[in-house]
Structure 1
Amino acid sequence: MTQVAQQTIAASDLPERGQPLAGGIFVTRYWLNGEERALVQLDDELSGAWGEYGLDVPGAKSYSDGEANTRAMAEAGSEIAIKALRLGAHIPSCLEGQLVMAAKADGLVTLREDRFHWMSTQYSADSAYLMVFELGWLRSYGKLLERVVRPVRSLPIQ
């Protein structure tokens, strides 16, 4: 079942970074496709393979648009992408993952450091990006390996 999530937020209603918002923690404001947005880190944790090894997913190559990447992943059959979308959220892109890492470094969010976290950005037909939140590393790895995902929401700011 897909959760109905908050769709937009007024700039005047934004809390301080690190405070609750839209079912998670407000990470930061950022620009995506010419629109200012609020990035929210959810508490949910998913686990699974990114997708099928050797399958190129052309719509999942955005460095910045995690929602578009996640939708393309889901259309290609990715179980973790389908689960994230059912939460009314998406898998962070490389950019969104780095913004979450900055919030972690500022002590605003807590993330597991014992596991690698999938990003929604595909590197090649065989691999996708992941983040190591212990040290902030961003690298690519084989899509078939099971990794965790901390879904995010990206709300347009009105």
Structure 2
Amino acid sequence: MKSPLIQIKNLHISFLAAETPSVATTLEPFAVKRSSAVDNATSVPALGEFWPGQGGIYAGIRQYADGLRHVVFSAEDVGEHEWGAYGVEVEASSRIDGRINSQVLTANGGHPAASAAANYTADGLTDFYLPSIGELSHGWQFIPEHFKRDWHWSSTQRSADNAFYVYFDDGDQNGYGKSNELRVRPVRSWLI
């Protein structure tokens, strides 16, 4: 069972002093470590809304090895591409973090889907990548209406011949031959 997505925008707590009931002490809203990209945004949008200045559609918060991250998918696919390197085993096996997988794939060359995602830019941002199977599943769970009901590549390799995909019609996840052309949807994430 996955934990529910929780979003706290502002928290304001007031305490009344016991000895002087007329005096209220107020705590400032909790400070949150934010990236410089987020500092330029006025507020976090609701799930499924376009986030101005952040390059796409807000899909919520996910846990990564380095902490909680905001996740934003591009507003559009960048075509259909082969995953690439059919018959070759590469170290792109993270089911959680597509950034790690995509760095491996683009560094090795011959991976059209990862290259298409990495070359995507929006709102002047160039840190997009091919999502992991977990990130694509997150998109299907929280913002499926923003994806074409079709197969989308993940950056997660299953074997030398197959990589994982998500079918946005019913959420099916499986492996498919790397030489096939499936849709590519770039994503970006940053620490909150």
TM-score higher than 0.5 here? yes
Which residue in 1 is equivalent to 2:140?
Answer: 101
Q: What's 2:146 paired with?
A: 110
1:37 maps onto 2:66 in alignment? no
Instruction: Quote how far apart the aligned CAs of 1:93 are.
Output: 0.5
From the two aligned structures, give the one with the greater helix fraction.
Answer: 1
Aligned residue for 1:19?
A: 49
TM-score by length of 1: 0.85
User: Residue deviations 1:91-116, cap 9 Å, x none?
Assistant: 110110111001235xxx42111x31
Does residue 143 in structure 1 map to residue 172 in structure 2? no
Detail structure 1 runs of 4+ shifted over 6 Å in the superposition: none
TM (norm. structure 2) is 0.71
Correspondence for 2:38 = 9
Matched, 1:127 2:162: yes
Greater relative contact order (Cα < 8 A, sep 6+): 1
Against the structure 1 CA distance between its residues 12 and 29, is the aligned structure 2 distance closer, same or farther, given a 3 Å change threshold?
Answer: farther
Q: Confirm or deny: 8 A CA contact 2:48 2:143 kept in the other structure.
A: no
Contact residue 54 and residue 125 of structure 1 kept, 8 A: yes
Gaps of 5+ in 2: 1-34, 121-125
CA deviation profile, 1:72-94 (whole Å, cap 9, x unmatched): 11122212212211222111101
8 Å CA contact retained: 2:86, 2:178: yes
Aligned-residue RMSD, C-alpha: 1.9
How many residues were matched structurally? 147
Counterparts in 2 of 1:110 and 1:103: CA distance versus 1, 3 Å = same
Distance 1:132 1:39, change over 3 A: same
Q: Specify the structure having the higher radius of gyration (Cα).
A: 2
Q: Is the 8 A contact 1:9 1:156 kept in 2?
A: no
1:130-155: CA deviations, max 9, x gaps? 01000000000110011111111112
Q: Which amino acid aligns with 1:51?
A: G
